[in-house]
Amino acid sequence: MSRRTEIQVGLTVLVAVAILLWGVTWLKEFQLQQSVRTWKVWFPQTGGLSSSDEVQVNGLRKGEVRTVHLTGDGVIVELALASDITLTHDSQVAIRNLGVMGEKVISVDYRSTGTHWTERDTLPGIYDRGIPEVMGDVAKTIEAVTQLASKLTELVGTTDRKGDLSATMKNVRLTSEELRNTVSESRRALRGALGDFAASAKTARGLTTDRESQLGKGIADFSSAAGKLDRLSDRMDSLSVRMQSISGKVDRGDGTLGKLVNDRKLYTDFAATVDSLRILISDVKKNPKRYFKVSVF
């Protein structure tokens, strides 16, 4: 076989392999397009997420990242999920870290409850800070603490050189010694006060012991008086009820007193009778012979 023939056979094989690969890829893409749905999710940042990264739904791989592009102050990520997954408002889409090295993955906490999103909607996403971000913050914190410690060291050195810190510590020591001396001098007075308090308590205990029977009798008398007051209060309540009953009868005109109070004519006749009786008594006093006859045997 000539060299030209070998080249032709090689080119033919390469073209055939290329056509085969292209066909397989096209068929795969066609099948994938038929079995997935595309969702748009907005994230404040992606932390290095890229196309073809894994998408997990409740821990199971159900799709991959199609595209990632910047929009405004956030990032729009297009996800290709299995066609049997329909995202709802109760579901959450978050960017999380898989391992220590900070591999990114989109995790969908799927919930079947809630209103369904459509493929035209843009879902809100959550960005979980991973270990690299946290370590970066820790490094910044350590640097800030180091600077603070350096400033404090410099401040202490400057103060010590001026003598202010030494003078302050000396004043503190002198104040502590004076306080200790004051406590020592006041200890005797404190003991005396405690002794007087103990004597007073002893006297009070003696008084209560000697008059224990009198105190008991006084308490018993007080209890008896309280009981009598309770009975008196009950009687007063009963009397008040009776007075209210009598007042009601008088207002209604029941009984002699009620009729006398409520009947105006009866009151007028009674007043006229009293006046007539008063006139009669006066006339009897003036002219007793007119009414009484006295005979002497």
- State the pLDDT at residue 191: 74
C-alpha span between 141 and 123 (Å, rounded) = 34
Q: Which residue has the higher pLDDT, 140 or 275?
A: 275
Contact criterion met (CB below 8 Å) for 75 and 46: yes
Q: Which residue has the higher pLDDT, 207 or 147?
A: 147
pTM: 0.39
- State the pLDDT at residue 1: 55
Contact criterion met (CB below 8 Å) for 208 and 201: no
- State the pLDDT at residue 270: 74
Q: Percent of the chain scored above 70 by pLDDT? A: 67
- The CA R_g of the chain, rounded to the nearest whole Å, is 56
Tell me the domain boundaries of the chain: 36-128, 212-270
- CA nearest 77: which of 68, 88, 86, 64? 68
- State the pLDDT at residue 208: 65
pLDDT value at 262 more than 80: no
Between 40-54, 86-100, 118-132, 252-266, the lowest mean confidence (pLDDT) is in 252-266
- CA nearest 102: which of 75, 123, 145, 132? 132
Alpha helices for the chain (secondary structure H): 3-35, 131-162, 164-210, 212-252, 255-262, 264-286
Between 18-22, 102-106, 125-129, 143-147, the lowest mean confidence (pLDDT) is in 143-147
